[in-house]
Chains A and B, each alone.
Chain A
Amino acid sequence: MAISMTDAAINHVARYLEKRGHGKGIRVGVRTSGCSGMAYVLEFIDDIESDDQVFEFGPVHVAIDPKSLLYLDGTELDFVKEGLNEGFKFNNPNVRSECGCGESFNV
Chain B
Amino acid sequence: MALLQIAEPGQSAAPHERKLAVGIDLGTTNSLAATVRSGEAQTLADINGEHLLPSVAYYAEDGSVEIGSAAMIHAAEDPYNTIISVKRLMGRGVEDVLSFGDELPYRFAPGEGGMPFIETQAGPRSPVQVSADILRALRVRAEQSLDGVLAGAVITVPAYFDDAQRQATKDAARLAGLNVLRLLNEPTAAAVAYGLDQGDEGVIAIYDLGGGTFDISVLRLSRGVFEVLATGGDSALGGDDFDYALARWMLKESGIELEPNAQQARYLTTLARRVKEQLSAEDCVELVLELDGQSQGLSISREQFDSVIEPLVKKTLRACRRALKDAGVSADEVREVVMVGGSTRVPLVRARVGELFGREPHIEIDPDRVVAIGAALQADVLAGNKPDSEMLLLDVIPLSLGLETMGGLVEKVIHRNTAIPVARGQEFTTYQDGQTAMAIHVVQGERELVTDCRSLARFVLRGIPPMAAGAAKIRVTFQIDADGLLSVSAQELSTGIESSIQVKPSYGLTDNEIAGMLKDSFSHAEEDMAARALREQQVEAGRLVDALEAAMAQDGELLDEQETAALSEAITELRNVAGGGDAAAIEAGVQSLAKLSDEFAARRMDKGIQRALQGHRVDELGKELK
- The minimal Cβ–Cβ distance linking B403 to chain A, given in whole angstroms, is 48
Please report the C-alpha to C-alpha distance between residue A20 and residue B47 in the assembled complex, in whole angstroms.
28
Does B234 interact with chain A (Cβ within 8 Å)? Answer: no
Asked if residues B16 and A87 are in contact (CB atoms below 8 Å), the reply is no
Can you name the residue of chain A whose Cβ is closest to the Cβ of B195?
Answer: A21
Known: A43-B6, A44-B9, A85-B144. A104 touches B15 (CB 8 A): yes
Can you name the residue of chain A whose Cβ is closest to the Cβ of B7?
Answer: A43
Known: A16-B6, A87-B5. A39 touches B145 (CB 8 A): no
User: Which residues of chain B have C-beta atoms less than 8 A from A101's C-beta?
Assistant: 1-2, 15-16
- The minimal Cβ–Cβ distance linking A89 to chain B, given in whole angstroms, is 6
Does A55 interact with chain B (Cβ within 8 Å)? Answer: no
Asked if residues B145 and A84 are in contact (CB atoms below 8 Å), the reply is yes
Asked if residues A99 and B15 are in contact (CB atoms below 8 Å), the reply is yes
Asked if residues A89 and B3 are in contact (CB atoms below 8 Å), the reply is yes
Can you name the residue of chain B whose Cβ is closest to the Cβ of A15?
Answer: B40
Asked if residues A19 and B9 are in contact (CB atoms below 8 Å), the reply is no
**Contact digits for B7-21, partner A, Cβ 8 Å, 1 yes 0 no:** 111111011100000
Secondary structure call for the B interface: loop
Asked if residues B3 and A80 are in contact (CB atoms below 8 Å), the reply is yes
- The minimal Cβ–Cβ distance linking A97 to chain B, given in whole angstroms, is 12
Asked if residues A84 and B15 are in contact (CB atoms below 8 Å), the reply is no
Interchain Cβ contacts under 8 Å between A and B, 18 examples: A13-B38, A19-B39, A19-B40, A26-B6, A39-B14, A39-B15, A42-B12, A43-B9, A43-B11, A80-B3, A85-B3, A86-B145, A98-B1, A101-B1, A101-B2, A103-B16, A104-B15, A105-B1
Does B458 interact with chain A (Cβ within 8 Å)? Answer: no
Known: A12-B38, A16-B40, A103-B16. A85 touches B145 (CB 8 A): yes
Does B271 interact with chain A (Cβ within 8 Å)? Answer: no
Please report the C-alpha to C-alpha distance between residue A59 and residue B145 in the assembled complex, in whole angstroms.
28
16 additional contacts (CB under 8 A) given A35-B16, A84-B46, A87-B5? A27-B9, A39-B14, A41-B12, A42-B6, A43-B7, A85-B3, A86-B3, A87-B3, A87-B4, A88-B4, A89-B3, A90-B1, A90-B4, A101-B2, A101-B16, A102-B1
Asked if residues B14 and A44 are in contact (CB atoms below 8 Å), the reply is no
- The minimal Cβ–Cβ distance linking A84 to chain B, given in whole angstroms, is 4
Asked if residues A43 and B10 are in contact (CB atoms below 8 Å), the reply is yes
Does A54 interact with chain B (Cβ within 8 Å)? Answer: no
Can you name the residue of chain B whose Cβ is closest to the Cβ of A46?
Answer: B9
Please report the C-alpha to C-alpha distance between residue A46 and residue B389 in the assembled complex, in whole angstroms.
15
Number of chain A residues close to chain B: CB under 8 A: 37
Number of chain B residues close to chain A: CB under 8 A: 28
- Residues of B whose CB lies within 8 Å of any CB of A are 1-12, 14-16, 37-40, 44-47, 141, 144-147
- The minimal Cβ–Cβ distance linking A79 to chain B, given in whole angstroms, is 9
Contact of B5 (CB < 8 Å), options: A27, A33, A34, A88:
A88
Please report the C-alpha to C-alpha distance between residue A107 and residue B38 in the assembled complex, in whole angstroms.
27
Does A82 interact with chain B (Cβ within 8 Å)? Answer: yes
- The minimal Cβ–Cβ distance linking B33 to chain A, given in whole angstroms, is 11
User: Which residues of chain B have C-beta atoms less than 8 A from A16's C-beta?
Assistant: 6, 38-40
Does A71 interact with chain B (Cβ within 8 Å)? Answer: no
Does A57 interact with chain B (Cβ within 8 Å)? Answer: no
User: Which residues of chain A have C-beta atoms less than 8 A from B14's C-beta?
Assistant: 33-34, 39
Can you name the residue of chain B whose Cβ is closest to the Cβ of A33?
Answer: B14
Please report the C-alpha to C-alpha distance between residue A12 and residue B39 in the assembled complex, in whole angstroms.
11
Asked if residues B6 and A44 are in contact (CB atoms below 8 Å), the reply is yes
- The minimal Cβ–Cβ distance linking B410 to chain A, given in whole angstroms, is 48
**Contact digits for A45-73, partner B, Cβ 8 Å, 1 yes 0 no:** 11000000000000000000000000000
- The minimal Cβ–Cβ distance linking B30 to chain A, given in whole angstroms, is 19
User: Which residues of chain B have C-beta atoms less than 8 A from A88's C-beta?
Assistant: 3-6, 38
Asked if residues A42 and B4 are in contact (CB atoms below 8 Å), the reply is yes
User: Which residues of chain B have C-beta atoms less than 8 A from A42's C-beta?
Assistant: 4-7, 12
Asked if residues A45 and B9 are in contact (CB atoms below 8 Å), the reply is yes
User: Which residues of chain B have C-beta atoms less than 8 A from A31's C-beta?
Assistant: 12
User: Which residues of chain B have C-beta atoms less than 8 A from A27's C-beta?
Assistant: 9
Can you name the residue of chain A whose Cβ is closest to the Cβ of B45?
Answer: A84
- The minimal Cβ–Cβ distance linking B52 to chain A, given in whole angstroms, is 15
Please report the C-alpha to C-alpha distance between residue A38 and residue B61 in the assembled complex, in whole angstroms.
51
User: Which residues of chain A have C-beta atoms less than 8 A from B141's C-beta?
Assistant: 84
Asked if residues B7 and A44 are in contact (CB atoms below 8 Å), the reply is yes
The 5 closest A-B pairs by CB, nearest first: A87-B3, A102-B1, A103-B15, A34-B15, A84-B145
Can you name the residue of chain B whose Cβ is closest to the Cβ of A99?
Answer: B15
- The minimal Cβ–Cβ distance linking B99 to chain A, given in whole angstroms, is 42
User: Which residues of chain B have C-beta atoms less than 8 A from A102's C-beta?
Assistant: 1-2
Known: A83-B144, A84-B45, A84-B47. A43 touches B12 (CB 8 A): yes
Asked if residues A85 and B147 are in contact (CB atoms below 8 Å), the reply is yes
Please report the C-alpha to C-alpha distance between residue A84 and residue B45 in the assembled complex, in whole angstroms.
8
User: Which residues of chain B have C-beta atoms less than 8 A from A19's C-beta?
Assistant: 39-40
Please report the C-alpha to C-alpha distance between residue A46 and residue B37 in the assembled complex, in whole angstroms.
18
Please report the C-alpha to C-alpha distance between residue A34 and residue B16 in the assembled complex, in whole angstroms.
8
